[in-house]
Homo-oligomer: A and B are copies of this chain.
């Protein structure tokens, strides 16, 4: 089944975006990347040698494969800082895609809605392909779309917590209202969370800690690949409605029971 989707005109076959932070070592990371089937890699700019990306520990291990890079602005605490990072990255020729990630609270790392919107507006004007990380506030997500975001990335729960989808209702409203792809980002902890996100109708999901810090990251990456398929197919297949009372899978026995008596 061809079930690709597009962001900013670019066709993507895999619906899994993978972050490259927190892996034990580059070898495991690359095995996990392969097992996940991802086509989009995200990373904090500071982790890449911007002057000589060809020497970067992450990027050099990926040679020979074609990935879409989605650098993020994590570490930025306001729009101005995020915009600077984005410009700097583009100047290196690495990517004109940017994940806007602006956190002012160190404990929760939750995104700042006002600064995120401001940065998105500006970067869109400057020709970037902008994918903002945001809270699951449906109106804010719509505002980001209206500001020109190529896709919107609401969080399931705070980064790195593994708490899964705290508010499936909000995500389903966001998806219903959206005209651009919705990528569920942050907080997904296991394959169940990913399957749930895809069943809600998300276009994709972004993972990092759940894979990188699993006991077996490569196996978990494979699990997540299956989870994407499972949730996506389940969404497309059209699940049964929930009912309060039972329906037998088969009708009552009729002639058969009587033949016993």
Interface string of A103-130 (1 = CB under 8 A from B): 0110111111110010000000000000
Enumerate chain B residues within 8 angstroms of A240, measured Cβ to Cβ.
162, 189, 209-210, 213-214
Oligomer: number of copies: 4
Question: Bound complex: CA of A163 vs CA of B243, how far in Å?
Answer: 7
Q: Which among B46, B216, B230, B246 is the interface contact of A161 at CB below 8 angstroms?
A: B246
> Which of chain B's residues have a CB closer than 8 A to the CB of A249?
19, 21-22, 44, 74, 159-160, 208-209, 212
Does A90 reach chain B (CB closer than 8 Å)? no
Kindly state the separation between the CA atoms of A19 and B44 in the bound complex, as whole angstroms.
Answer: 47
Verify A238–B216 contact, CB threshold 8 A. yes
With contact pairs A81-B260, A190-B239, A227-B195 given, residues A250 and B21 touching in the complex (Cβ less than 8 Å): yes
Q: Which of A170-201 contact B (CB under 8 A)?
A: 170, 173, 177, 189-192, 194-196, 199
Report which of B110, B167, B199 forms a contact with A192, defined as CB distance below 8 A: B199
Min CB–CB distance A175 → chain B (angstroms) = 13
Q: Is the CB of A257 within 8 A of B167?
A: no
Q: Are B46 and A256 in contact (CB under 8 A)?
A: yes
CB pair A113 B113 closer than 8 Å: yes
Q: Is the CB of B253 within 8 A of A192?
A: no
Question: Can you list the 3 inter-chain pairs with the closest CB atoms, starting with the nearest?
Answer: A215-B238, A75-B253, A223-B233
